[in-house]
């Protein structure tokens, strides 16, 4: 009898192409995470169970596990919403977005022209998610990198993006905790305090961060729009406060920043 070819499966072995590697418990957990969206940022456990088609006790165990692992958080009313760790799952996809690819050239030219740090970010819940960071200067107060998430209320990028929301959206998105991560001497501490600044940003079309996020840090930001005219991201130029008073920041850095944002907007099909 000739020796068996090691590549030939035994009778009891199913070919790899026919074996199932589907893990149903994992699939259910992923389906549960997939229920959330911008239109439905939080859900009750009963609704989660109904839409995933699993018994309530199973849904509870799934949600509790996702909370423990940092992918969900439970609100005071018992509902669940995605926690910041969920953003890390989509970060690779974000890096591949047309926005990031198209913005790269204009932002590199902006950084070279100003000699300052340039950032591109988008809004994720009540945070700014940094998609591009071109660091030129020594901003010792800002430990920021691609993928960092900072309070939108304390950043120039965040304020530009928040200014595009109506009052109802602002109240739904911002909570008391949204203001907890800012440590600068000029930080806003409530939505009531922030509203006048957002109204001014809507009118003039750009924002300044004047030692709100942290001591010693200033920046100026402007919006990036898509073909529909919606603000999809924002770009800022960040500087050391001791070298750039607000007047110098606006006079020297705002014009090239606006040019770069207009260029990216056109590349996205906007005008």
Residue 135 — very low, low, confident or very high, per pLDDT cuts 50/70/90?
confident
DSSP 14-69: PPGGG-----HHHHHHHHHHTT--SS---B-HHHHHHHHT--HHHHHHHHHHHHHT
What are the structural domains of the chain? 21-83 (1.10.10.10), 90-267 (3.30.450.40)
pLDDT of residue 15: 46
pLDDT of residue 40: 79
Q: What average pLDDT does the chain have?
A: 85
% pLDDT > 70, the chain: 85
Q: Give 115 or 10, the one with higher predicted confidence.
A: 115
pLDDT of residue 245: 96
Q: By C-alpha distance, which of 132, 123, 113 is closest to 150?
A: 123
pLDDT of residue 125: 86
Q: How many CB atoms lie within 10 A of CB 104?
A: 14
Q: Crossing angle for the helix pair 56-68 and 24-33, nearest 10 degrees?
A: 80
| 3 state SS of 246 | helix
Count of residues in the chain? 271
How many whole angstroms separate alpha carbon 157 and alpha carbon 234?
A: 5
Summarize the confidence of residues 84-108 as an average pLDDT.
72
**Each residue's pLDDT tens digit, 35-77:** 887 567 889 999 999 988 889 999 999 999 999 888 898 988 9
Summarize the confidence of residues 114-141 as an average pLDDT.
87
Residue 87 — very low, low, confident or very high, per pLDDT cuts 50/70/90?
low
Where does the chain have alpha helices with state H?
24-33, 45-52, 56-68, 85-89, 91-95, 98-114, 156-162, 167-173, 191-204, 246-248, 254-267
Summarize the confidence of residues 86-101 as an average pLDDT.
63
pLDDT of residue 238: 95
**Each residue's pLDDT tens digit, 257-271:** 999 999 999 998 888
**Each residue's pLDDT tens digit, 139-156:** 655 678 888 889 999 999
Residue 25 — very low, low, confident or very high, per pLDDT cuts 50/70/90?
confident
Residue 97 — very low, low, confident or very high, per pLDDT cuts 50/70/90?
low
Q: By C-alpha distance, which of 220, 233, 271 is closest to 101?
A: 233
- 93-97, 108-112, 162-166, 193-197: least confidently modelled range: 93-97
Pairing of strands 149-151, 72-74: unpaired
């Amino acid at each position: 009898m000739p020796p068996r070819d090691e590549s030939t499966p035994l009778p009891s072995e199913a070919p790899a192409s026919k074996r199932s590697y589907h893990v149903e418990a994992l699939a259910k957990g992923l389906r549960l995470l997939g229920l959330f969206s911008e239109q439905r940022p939080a859900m009750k456990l009963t609704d989660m169970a109904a839409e995933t088609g699993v018994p309530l006790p199973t849904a509870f165990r799934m949600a509790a596990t996702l909370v423990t692992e940092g992918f969900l958080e439970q609100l005071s009313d018992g509902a669940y919403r995605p926690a910041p760790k969920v953003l890390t799952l989509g970060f690779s996809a974000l890096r591949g977005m047309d926005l990031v690819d198209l913005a790269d050239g204009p932002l590199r030219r902006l950084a070279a022209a100003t000699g300052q740090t340039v950032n591109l970010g988008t809004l994720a819940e009540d945070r700014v998610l940094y998609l591009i960071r071109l660091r030129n200067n020594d901003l010792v107060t800002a430990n920021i990198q691609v993928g960092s998430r900072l309070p939108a209320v304390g950043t120039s990028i965040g304020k530009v993006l928040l200014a595009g929301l109506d009052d109802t959206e602002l109240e739904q998105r911002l909570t008391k905790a949204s203001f907890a991560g800012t440590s600068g001497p000029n930080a806003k501490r409530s939505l009531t305090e922030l509203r006048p600044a957002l109204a001014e940003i809507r009118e003039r079309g750009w924002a300044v961060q004047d030692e709100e996020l942290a001591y010693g840090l200033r920046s100026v930001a402007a919006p990036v729009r898509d073909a529909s005219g919606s603000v999809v991201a924002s770009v800022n130029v960040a500087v050391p406060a001791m070298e750039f008073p607000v007047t110098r920041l606006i006079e020297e850095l705002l014009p090239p920043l606006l040019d770069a944002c207009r260029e990216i907007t056109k590349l996205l099909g906007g005008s």
